[in-house]
Amino acid sequence: MSPLDHKNKGRGGADDLPPEIDLEDEALEEIVEPAGPDVAFTAIDWTPHAGDAEGMVGAEVIQTLVKRLPNAPGVYRMMNAAGDVLYVGKARSLKKRVTNYAQGRFHTNRIGRMVRETSTMEFVVTRTEIEALLLEANLIKRLRPRFNVLMRDDKSFPYILLTGDHVSPGIYKHRGARSRKGDYFGPFASAGAVGRTINSLQRAFLLRSCTNSFYENRTRPCLLYQIKRCAGPCTGEISHEGYAELVAEAKDFLSGRSQKVKTEISAAMQQASEDLDFERAAIYRDRLAALSHVQSHQGINPATVDEADVFAIHQEGGQVCIQVFFFRTGQNWGNRAYFPKADPALEGSEVLGSFLAQFYDDKPTPRAIFLSQTVEDQELLAEALSTRAGRKVAISVPQRGEKKDLTDNALQNAREALGRRLAETSTQGRLLAGFAETFGLAKPPVRIEVYDNSHIMGTNAVGAMVVAGPEGFVKNQYRKFNIRSTEITPGDDFGMMREVMERRFSRLLKEHGDVAVADDAAGEAADDIEDDISGSFPAWPDVILIDGGQGQMTAVRKILADLGIEDRVVAIGIAKGQDRDAGRERFFVKGRDSFSLPVRDPVLYFVQRLRDEVHRFAIGSHRARRKKEMVKSPLDEIAGIGPGRKRALLLAFGTAKAVSRAAIEDLRKVDGISEQVAKLVYNHFHES
């Protein structure tokens, strides 16, 4: 038995392979890909001989590979000569699906370009088509192939957490893994929605939101108790039994039994009024008002839908908007608009189907999913999501009644959100065109980088870079640079900018190679609208804006010249005008005298907005660094003293100053501090 046979035997690997695959002829590797939060499946990574298609490209290489493909379900990856994944797809039969590409007849320009760029393919054989669907979604999210439908925003959703690990449970906003004991309610569409809901729930149920350490160290009620946002369990203002009743009411409300809770509070208010206890009645009145405020901000609260997500898609102007509404426990927990990258030639059903598979790749699935239109492989997707969730998940397109009203409302929101985005994109496009005309550029810039420094007398100096493009600010491209050079005189803005430029463009050259190649790729993407499906954003800037005058520009241009890219990147300086008034800025461009723009020029407003954004980001980064320095402890400077030992020392001695005065014998008495570590700490403070 060969090592490969032994590796796969009895593990759902070689013994389960279709007869078309010969272990002795092909390269097989068992892989396990995550199919969801609690599901994993076994698949076979199958790659034909590399020499079979050496030197071939496009349909020719696919024709060579398809001869050896199995007639089995799986996932295929198409890659270019550089090894970048162009497309990830799934198939009930790999042989039949890939044969379609090998024939050389393409329905769209997108598929034609994809095939022409393909120089090799990789395949993963799965046991079922469901596993292929789950694996495809996982690979698309991980590899982000340029020809697939791609989610742009994949942040996790926030939840409300009622803790269960304390005698007085607290209410908190939670995002991420559910590692803490307690009850989770959501998802909510945004952190803002969670914050507003928690504020109203605090007014309604008087639940604490402080940390456990804050709770344990209170000797008198805090401000939240004074403004009637907390019942004050920390100092005994309410008994544990009474507080437990408030927590139970909050759970009932968040679990969908809101009418029961409101009825009980209303009855208690009426009873207090009859007892002439008007102060207590006023408290119940305020709690009822807070509950009404929560429900009024939830919009539509369906009577017949307990748990569902509603998706609606709208396509216009070559762009797509998918609107998602979340309904849990009969309440609307908000909505969010997504703008996935997709080929304009794709049908809405294909875009929405691919989006759904990626959307639920790492998120909990509700019992029902309502769609504005039927999607491809809808039954297969429902079966796959049911497999992952461990219970039935129904996907449907409502035709009448309240469920149809929900999808219609989501569709209307999708239309409006896409309309706003198209208007903003159009405005941004006109501004970029005006920017190019004003500063003599050959074409509107695709990527603008803006730089600034922030410091106080040279301390905690930070350089900041913000990025803007055709769709506005691109915040995931922002960067900050902690100024590290010891040779820069404190307060030397020229020296700081020089360091920022050297670090930025040296790394750019190292990671993204020749700027000429990048410029060509960016130009092609700008000229061909269909290339926008790639979801990529150019790494190289067309323009850099420097907050500074002629001195700053001299330093910047020298750096660019030393790196050999002075003629590739347009550098523009923005100097504050007379009396530092907005509207009197002077601009410095190579080959032109400095000039100003008319006070009401839209391009001037655009540049001011860019400058203000980099100011905001630079100052925020500087403040964060300064705050970190202010709370820095002398113990942080001792090698071998991590957070655990640092905490133990501070708990034992109170302050770092007391630790510095402690004898070795006293240090050794602290838990986790050995004799060697005690000497290390002592010697650090007693080097003399």
Q: Where are the alpha helices (DSSP H) in 43-190?
A: 59-66, 94-102, 109-117, 129-143
Under 8 Å between Cβ of 384 and 359: no
Q: What CA–CA distance (Å, rounded) separates 140 from 355?
A: 10
Position 432, amino acid: L
Percent of the chain with pLDDT over 70: 82
One-letter-per-residue 3-state SS of 34-70: ECCCCCEEEEEEEECCHHHHCCCCCHHHHHHHHCCCC
Q: Give the residue-averaged pLDDT of 168-191.
A: 85
User: DSSP string of 361-421?
Assistant: SSS---SEEEESS--TTHHHHHHHHHHHHTS--EEE---SHHHHHHHHHHHHHHHHHHHHH
Task: Report the 10 Å Cβ neighbour count for 123.
Answer: 24
The pLDDT of residue 536 is 62
pLDDT digits (tens, 9 = 90+) for 592-629: 888 888 888 888 888 888 988 998 998 888 788 777 76
SS3 536: coil
Greater confidence (292 vs 172) lies with 172
What class is the 439-628 domain? alpha beta
Under 8 Å between Cβ of 202 and 196: no
Q: Where are the alpha helices (DSSP H) in 233-370?
A: 240-254, 258-274, 278-296, 348-359
Looking at CATH, the fold of the domain delimited by 634-685 is given as DNA polymerase; domain 1 (1.10.150)
Q: Give the residue-averaged pLDDT of 488-515.
A: 79
Q: Does domain 308-420 have CATH number 3.40.50.300?
A: no
Task: Report the 10 Å Cβ neighbour count for 282.
Answer: 14
> Among residues 680, 687, 627, which one has the least CA distance to residue 649?
680
> Among residues 485, 328, 483, 302, which one has the least CA distance to residue 402?
302
* Sign of the torsion formed by the C-alpha atoms of 292, 294, 300 and 304: negative
Tokens 């029902």 -> residue: 368
Long-range contacts of 163-170 (CB under 8 A, 24+ apart): 166/212, 166/215, 167/240, 168/208, 168/215, 168/233, 168/234, 168/240, 168/243, 169/207, 169/247, 170/207, 170/208, 170/209, 170/210, 170/212, 170/215
Under 8 Å between Cβ of 198 and 171: yes
> Among residues 553, 507, 510, 525, which one has the least CA distance to residue 445?
525
SS3 86: strand
Spell out the domain ranges in the chain.
3-143, 159-296, 308-420, 439-628, 634-685
Least confident window among 487-491, 520-524, 535-539, 666-670: 520-524
**Mean pLDDT across the chain:** 79
- Residues 6 or more apart whose CB falls under 8 angstroms from that of 648 comprise 670, 671, 672, 673
Query: Taking every pair of C-alpha atoms in the chain, what is the biggest distance, in angstroms?
Result: 92
Chain centroid offset of residue 320 CA: 19
Q: Give the residue-averaged pLDDT of 489-498.
A: 77
Q: Where are the alpha helices (DSSP H) in 528-674?
A: 550-562, 602-630, 643-653, 656-661, 664-668
Q: What CA–CA distance (Å, rounded) separates 619 from 95?
A: 57
pLDDT digits (tens, 9 = 90+) for 569-582: 899 998 876 655 56
Under 8 Å between Cβ of 9 and 15: yes
Eight-class DSSP state of 476: G
> Among residues 202, 205, 280, which one has the least CA distance to residue 244?
205
585 pLDDT above the threshold of 80:
yes
Crossing angle between the packed helical segments 129-143 and 378-389, to the nearest 10 degrees? 80
Eight-class DSSP state of 227: T
Q: What CA–CA distance (Å, rounded) separates 316 from 623?
A: 43
Under 8 Å between Cβ of 130 and 168: no
Least confident window among 91-100, 138-147, 184-193: 184-193
Q: Comparing 308-420 with 634-685, is the CATH topology the same? A: no
Eight-class DSSP state of 150: B
Q: Give the residue-averaged pLDDT of 187-214.
A: 83
pLDDT digits (tens, 9 = 90+) for 409-443: 999 999 998 888 888 888 888 889 999 999 988 89
Under 8 Å between Cβ of 331 and 301: yes
204 pLDDT above the threshold of 90:
no
pLDDT digits (tens, 9 = 90+) for 244-273: 988 988 888 877 676 677 777 788 888 888
Least confident window among 229-238, 370-379, 522-531: 522-531
Strands 308-316 and 368-371: parallel
Q: What CA–CA distance (Å, rounded) separates 349 from 371?
A: 10
Q: Give the helix/strand (H/E) hosting 519.
A: helix 515-527
Looking at CATH, the fold of the domain delimited by 3-143 is given as GIY-YIG endonuclease (3.40.1440)
Q: Highest mean pLDDT: which of 187-196, 500-509, 548-557, 619-628?
A: 500-509
| Pair of tokens at residue 21 | 């695959």
Rounded to two decimals, what is the model's pTM? 0.67
> Among residues 295, 306, 297, 305, which one has the least CA distance to residue 258?
295
Calculate Rg over the CA atoms of the chain: 31
For residue 199, report the phi and psi dihedrals to the nearest 5 degrees. -60, -45
* Sign of the torsion formed by the C-alpha atoms of 221, 222, 228 and 231: negative
The pLDDT of residue 669 is 85
Position 467, amino acid: V
pLDDT digits (tens, 9 = 90+) for 272-300: 888 787 877 887 787 777 777 665 545 55
69 pLDDT above the threshold of 90:
no
Q: What CA–CA distance (Å, rounded) separates 398 from 407?
A: 8
